[in-house]
A = this chain, B = another copy of it.
Amino acid sequence: MVLVSGGLDSATTLALAMREGFSCYALSLDYGQRHGSELLAAEKVCRMLGALDHKTVKLDLTLFGGSALTDASIAVPEKASNGIPVTYVPARNTIMLSLALAWAEVLDARDIYIGVNAVDYSGYPDCRPEYVRAFESMANLATKAGVEGKRLALHAPLIRLAKSEIVKLGTELGVDYSLTVSCYQADSEGRACGRCDSCRLRREGFLSAGLPDPTRYFQD
């Protein structure tokens, strides 16, 4: 079970899980994010890499708001900030992992992959290794599998990698990054702004890896 957002990290994670020999089921969340182009990207990535099935769950997190990604009245920042940025979506990873857990349980899948990253993590609390371990412990108590003594594993293989290492790894694994969308405010065709946090991290990743950046920007 692999969470696929349509971005660079989750595409690399799916490619890694495939290389490990898993038959992969991919899950995306349509949570009312600012643009739908990342969900379209998720679909393309899953097809390209050969996921067995890909489902998109619809869940309207704009009902709660509280983030620049789920509340249109909060602007996406274009300068680095201290502390937890306004693009943080409260409990988003917990919600996505809970949904992955639900589908995994139905399928009797025991391995869940998420592409979180603690190096370039932008200060999100739910991208830290201690969070990943705590979710795994909880998941093992939450489910039938846990009761029956079968262990569920939560894998976050990118958690300690720099963006440049992720890009190199994915390139080796044959990921076509031109299909992925990382930008917080991409346009409907998936072209990136080049100015938000997520764009900056991505651009620097390709630059420092010495690889060509296939990202399409508005001005292209």
Interface residues of A (CB under 8 A from B): 55, 57-61, 63-66, 84, 88-95, 97-99, 101-103, 105-106, 125-126, 128, 130-131, 134-135, 137-139, 141-144, 146-147
Main secondary structure of the interface of A (DSSP, over half): helix
Q: How far is the CA of A139 from the CA of B126 in the complex (A)?
A: 9
How far, in Å, is A81 (CB) from chain B's closest CB?
A: 14
Tell me if A90 and B64 are in contact (CB < 8 A): no
Name, among A60, A94, A141, A146, the residue most crowded by chain B CB atoms within 10 Å (CB to CB).
A94
Note all chain B residues with C-beta closer than 8 A to A89: 102
Q: How far is the CA of A64 from the CA of B99 in the complex (A)?
A: 9
Q: How far is the CA of A102 from the CA of B123 in the complex (A)?
A: 17
Tell me if B106 and A101 are in contact (CB < 8 A): no
Q: Which of B102, B130, B137 contacts A91 (CB 8 A)?
A: B102
Q: 22 pairs across A/B with beta carbons < 8 Å?
A: A55-B63, A57-B63, A61-B102, A64-B103, A64-B106, A90-B103, A90-B143, A91-B99, A91-B102, A93-B142, A94-B101, A94-B102, A95-B99, A95-B102, A98-B98, A125-B144, A125-B146, A126-B141, A131-B142, A134-B142, A135-B138, A135-B142
Tell me if B131 and A141 are in contact (CB < 8 A): yes
Q: How far is the CA of A86 from the CA of B147 in the complex (A)?
A: 15
**Nearest-CB residue, chain B, relative to A108:** B66
Note all chain B residues with C-beta closer than 8 A to A126: 141-143
**Nearest-CB residue, chain B, relative to A145:** B125
